[in-house]
Structure 1
Amino acid sequence: MKMLAELFTMAPGNKDHQVATRCAIGVFVPLITLVLLDRLDLAVFASFGAFTGIYGRNQPHATRFFLQVRAGSLMLLVMLLAALTARAGVAFAVPAADMVWLQVFATTVVAGGCSLIVAWWRLRPAGSLFHIFAFAAIASIPNQPPLWQGMLVAGLTVAFSLLIGMSSRAVRSRRTPWVWPHSVPLTRAEERAALLESIGYIVAAGLAGTLATLAGERLGFGHNYWAMVAAVVPLVGHSTRHRVRRGVQRIVGTAIGLVLLAGILLLQPAPWQTVLVIAACQFGAEMFIARQYVLAQIFVTPLALISTLLVVPASPGILLRDRILETLIGAAVGIAVVLAPTVWRRLRAPQPPQAARSAHPS
């Protein structure tokens, strides 16, 4: 019962509405602009560029700007590498089946590498979940838009997010002193923890991607990168119990979110209405992501899938099925990776004398 209660415990708020408003505006304006220009093929670049706004949540303005510049630069690099990976597959005529495995391998490298960079730069949220999502989603788009156009949209969206992040400086009462932060190098213990965490990301993302791809080939479902994203969710947390709980919350929140998504899709919203839904879901996700992960996932699920539908139309039923199956695979892998060190230590621990005598009677 205690574990069940913890799944739905609500942490106290901390100006979450301010962050949620900034993030909602940061994604709405670029997407509605693309709708008006009839260029929804570029929407994925705007969506991921807007992730810049989630960093530096309640930091002073100078620190927030510093962190968001770093976060936006890293996201731009990830999107560029993803687009180049997709083009390399076409240029070298890589068969579709082999391309899927190339994407799993490349996404796994991104998972480990970005985890290290995020730790080195002390970015929050920690980990490489957003980078895994961005890289795999863009690399898997079959018909890539012109590279310069995609990166231009991404760059402008990042710049707009930076502007939104600084917008409250226009209000004198909200303005914070402009003190440029100093980079604090990681301690030896922090370096070791960052390295171990990056290995965990590599193992979780790689294993989840492999299992999801193999299962997809046999059972006929796709979007293996959703499993890779779900697999790294449990890796963020201050204790094993908290990490396992995040994995379970991911499954529960996704299942409820799919019900909400089904209701939205039944309404068959127009593109401009879809953008409004995305902005509303972004607001809801940021309102609860630091307070109640199940509630946040209820908004994240339609946010992710509707954004996918904007760029690559697909059967809603197939998307719903793929999402829950991939989430189950990924969350299970992530929880297993979290529990593995504890299980290994217990197996390696010497048995008490009494237990040893019981196990080996004379």
Structure 2
Amino acid sequence: MKMFAEMLTIAPANKDHQVALRCAVGVFVPLITLVLLDRLDLAIFASFGAFTGIYGRNEPHARRLSLQVRAGGLMLLVMFLAALTARVDALAGLSAAGTTWVLVGTTTVVAGACSLVVALWRLRPSGSLFHIFAFAAIASIPNQPPLWQAMLVAVLTAAFSLLIGQSSRVARSRRTPWVWPEPVRLTPAEKRAAWQESAGYLVAAGLAGTLGTLAGEWLGVGHNYWAMVAAVVPLVGHTTRHRVSRGLQRIAGTALGLVLLAGILLLQPNPWQTVLVIAACQFGAEMFIARQYMLAQVFVTPLALTSTLLVAPIPPGILLRDRIIETIIGAAVGIAVVLAPGAWRRLAGRREAGTPGRLR
């Protein structure tokens, strides 16, 4: 019962509106610029470049800049590798099934590697959820825009997010002392934990991607990387109960978010109105992501899917169906990965206890 009570509890606010406003502006300005330039083919690179602003939420300005530079650089690298992967797949002339499995394999590697880097750099939010999403979404685009244009948009958007992150320094009352953070030094135990966490991300993402792909073959469901994204959600948390709760909240929040998205799609927004929706959902997501995960997902779901529709229009019914099925698959895999070590230890303990002649 404690777990379900957690799903309905909202933690106290901690200047979340400031972070939410920064992130909303950080994604709105680049996207509306692309709408005005009629270059929506580049919108996905702007959307993920704006993720730079998510890091260093309430940190002092110098530390926020340090964290955001690292986070932005890692995201730019992931986007660059994703664009290259899409081009290599196209040159190799792989079948649709072959391309799908290559995407699962490469995204799984990104999940483990980025989780490790994020842990070693002590970035927050932790984990590689954003990197999985960015890599797989970009690598799955069949008609890639020119690479230099895509990366220019990504770099400019990331730089804009850095600028917004420091914007409050114009107000003397809001400035924090400019003290550059000391280099991160992890203990051997922390490094070992980072490697173990990375292995968990590899297993969860790989298994979810495999099951999501098989479901696609059996049920005609697409977007297998949504299962990979959902699978790593339960891996974040200090306790098993909290991690399982996050997985359940991902499913419940996604279901509610799809209802909100259906209402938005009924209005048939044009591109500039869609950008407004994206900015509003980004604001809502950042307002609650650190306080109430299920409620945050109500905003994250239309945020992610309207961003997808902005680049590649898809029949709404298919989009909604794919999202909920892949989310359930992924969250179930993530919860299973969280529970597996404890279940294994209990099973091993019972076997030991039942071994005859065991020395005591």
Name the TM-score, length of structure 1 as normaliser: 0.97
Q: How many Å separate the matches in 2 of 1:152 and 1:325?
A: 35
Question: Relative to structure 2, which stretch is displaced further, 5-14 or 36-45?
Answer: 5-14
Q: How many Å separate the matches in 1 of 2:6 and 2:180?
A: 39
**Who is 1:136 aligned against?**
136
The AA in structure 2 aligned to 1:198 is S
Q: How many Å separate the matches in 2 of 1:32 and 1:16?
A: 24
- The question of 1:214 aligning with 2:206 is answered no
**Contact (CA 8 Å) 2:3, 2:241: kept in 1 or not?**
no
Segments of structure 1 that go 5 or more residues without pairing to the other structure are: 358-362
The AA in structure 2 aligned to 1:238 is H
**Who is 1:256 aligned against?**
256
**Who is 2:162 aligned against?**
162
Question: Relative to structure 2, which stretch is displaced further, 336-345 or 184-193?
Answer: 184-193
User: What is the Cα deviation at residue 126 of structure 1?
Assistant: 0.3
Write the mapping of 1:145-294 to structure 2, written as runs, cut at 5 A: 145-294=145-294
Q: Deviations over 1:163-200 (max 9, x none)?
A: 00000000000001111101122111101110110000
- The question of 1:326 aligning with 2:339 is answered no
The AA in structure 2 aligned to 1:346 is R
- The question of 1:33 aligning with 2:33 is answered yes
Q: How many Å separate the matches in 2 of 1:236 and 1:141?
A: 29
Q: How many Å separate the matches in 2 of 1:36 and 1:290?
A: 33
Q: How many Å separate the matches in 2 of 1:108 and 1:351?
A: 34
User: What is the Cα deviation at residue 93 of structure 1?
Assistant: 1.1
Q: What percentage of aligned pairs have identical amino acids?
A: 79
Q: How many Å separate the matches in 2 of 1:302 and 1:288?
A: 15
The AA in structure 1 aligned to 2:57 is R
**Who is 1:93 aligned against?**
93
Write the mapping of 1:112-123 to structure 2, written as runs, cut at 5 A: 112-123=112-123
User: What is the Cα deviation at residue 96 of structure 1?
Assistant: 1.5
Name the TM-score, length of structure 2 as normaliser: 0.97
Q: Secondary structure at the match of 2:166?
A: helix
Q: How many Å separate the matches in 1 of 2:352 and 2:196?
A: 30
User: What is the Cα deviation at residue 72 of structure 1?
Assistant: 0.3
The AA in structure 1 aligned to 2:105 is F
Aligned CA-pair RMSD: 1.1
**Who is 2:19 aligned against?**
19
**Who is 2:65 aligned against?**
65
User: What is the Cα deviation at residue 356 of structure 1?
Assistant: 7.7
**Who is 1:55 aligned against?**
55
**Who is 1:104 aligned against?**
104
The AA in structure 1 aligned to 2:26 is G
User: What is the Cα deviation at residue 5 of structure 1?
Assistant: 1.4
Q: How many Å separate the matches in 2 of 1:352 and 1:208?
A: 32
Write the mapping of 1:334-345 to structure 2, written as runs, cut at 5 A: 334-345=334-345
**Contact (CA 8 Å) 2:4, 2:245: kept in 1 or not?**
no
The AA in structure 2 aligned to 1:314 is I
**Who is 1:45 aligned against?**
45
Question: Relative to structure 2, which stretch is displaced further, 93-102 or 73-82?
Answer: 93-102
**Contact (CA 8 Å) 2:257, 2:297: kept in 1 or not?**
yes
The AA in structure 2 aligned to 1:150 is A
Q: How many Å separate the matches in 2 of 1:127 and 1:352?
A: 35
**Who is 1:300 aligned against?**
300
User: What is the Cα deviation at residue 156 of structure 1?
Assistant: 0.1
User: What is the Cα deviation at residue 3 of structure 1?
Assistant: 2.6
**Contact (CA 8 Å) 2:247, 2:332: kept in 1 or not?**
yes
**Contact (CA 8 Å) 2:227, 2:330: kept in 1 or not?**
yes
**Who is 1:74 aligned against?**
74
**Contact (CA 8 Å) 2:109, 2:202: kept in 1 or not?**
yes
Q: Deviations over 1:47-66 (max 9, x none)?
A: 00000000000000000000
Q: Secondary structure at the match of 1:178?
A: coil
Number of aligned residue pairs: 356
